[in-house]
Amino acid sequence: MQLNKRFIKKTGVGAAAALSAVAGSVYAAVPAEATAALDTAGTDVGTIGWAVFAVIIAAMAFKYMRRAL
């Protein structure tokens, strides 16, 4: 049983190293325009996420104030 756990750990580390190497080479093949578009989309998603978070907090604060009265 102990041998199996050790083997699984070694295999997992090897697989993680191989996948990270493959991921680096795959990312290098993406055109610059696509990378810029993804960065812009990520910024937009972050902005919308913060706006939704602010609305949720405002609704919770309003509910809390109504309960206090």
* DSSP conformation letters of the chain: -HHHHHHHHHHHHHHHHHHHHHHHHHHHTS-HHHHHHHHHHHHHHHHHHHHHHHHHHHHHHHHHHHHH-
* Shared domain check, 42 and 25: no
Domain span at 62: 32-69
What pLDDT was estimated at residue 32?
84
Domain count, the chain: 2
Answer yes or no: do 40 and 18 share one domain.
Answer: no
pTM of the model: 0.49
Residues 11 and 42 in one domain: no
Based on the fold, state whether residues 16 and 49 are members of the same structural domain: no
Instruction: Report residue 68 as tokens.
Output: 């206090």
> Is there a single domain that holds both residue 25 and residue 57?
no
Q: What are the pLDDT digits (tens) for 11-64?
A: 666 666 666 665 656 566 778 898 889 889 999 999 999 999 999 999 999 999
Q: What integer pLDDT is reported at residue 21 of this predicted model?
A: 62
Domain check: are 19 and 39 in the same one? no
